[in-house]
Amino acid sequence: MKFNAFLYKLFPCMKNYEQPQSPQSPQSCLQLYKQRQKLLEERVEAEQQEAESVEAERVEAERVEAEQQEVERVEAERVEAERVEAERVEVERVEAERVEAERVEVERVEAERVEAERVEAERVETERVETERVEAERVEAERVEAEQQEAERVETERVETERVVDNMFRQYMDKFHEFFSSRTQPIHSNFNEKMFKDLCDSFTFNTEGELLECLDRYNLMQKQNKKAYNQLSRKRKLKCDVFKFYLFI
Q: Would residue 194 count as lying in a domain?
A: yes
| Domain encompassing residue 183 | 176-243
The type of residue at 130 is E
Terminal-to-terminal C-alpha distance of the chain: 199
pLDDT at 24: 54
Residues 47-71: tens digit of each pLDDT: 889 888 889 889 888 898 888 888 8
Report how far residue 248's alpha carbon sits from residue 229's, in angstroms, rounded to the nearest whole number.
Answer: 10
Q: Would residue 48 count as lying in a domain?
A: no
Nearest 5°: phi and psi at 244? 50, 50
Q: Would residue 209 count as lying in a domain?
A: yes
Q: Is 94 helix (H, G, I), strand (E, B) or coil?
A: helix
Q: Would residue 199 count as lying in a domain?
A: yes
pLDDT band at 8 (very low <50, low <70, confident <90, very high): low
Looking at every residue in the chain, the average pLDDT score rounds to 88
Q: Would residue 145 count as lying in a domain?
A: no
- Look up the pTM and report it: 0.47
pLDDT at 215: 97
What is the number of structural domains in the chain?
1
pLDDT at 197: 95
pLDDT above 70: percentage of residues in the chain: 90
Report how far residue 237's alpha carbon sits from residue 231's, in angstroms, rounded to the nearest whole number.
Answer: 9
pLDDT band at 46 (very low <50, low <70, confident <90, very high): confident
pLDDT at 3: 54
Q: Is the pLDDT of residue 21 over 90?
A: no
Q: Would residue 89 count as lying in a domain?
A: no
CB 179 within 8 A of CB 248: yes
Q: Would residue 119 count as lying in a domain?
A: no
**What per-residue string of b and e applies to 159-169 under the rule 16 or more CB within 10 Å gives b?**
eebeebbeebb
Q: What is the mean pLDDT of residues 167-180?
A: 95
Q: Would residue 3 count as lying in a domain?
A: no
Q: Cα-atom radius of gyration of the chain, to the nearest Å?
A: 77
Report how far residue 54's alpha carbon sits from residue 41's, in angstroms, rounded to the nearest whole number.
Answer: 19
Task: Please spell the DSSP secondary structure of 23-75, one letter per residue.
Answer: ---HHHHHHHHHHHHHHHHHHHHHHHHHHHHHHHHHHHHHHHHHHHHHHHHHH
Q: What is the mean pLDDT of residues 133-158?
A: 91
Lowest mean pLDDT among 14-18, 166-170, 186-190: 14-18
Angle between helices 3-10 and 26-175 (to 10 degrees): 30
Residues 181-237: tens digit of each pLDDT: 999 999 889 999 999 999 999 999 989 999 999 999 999 999 999 999 999 999 999
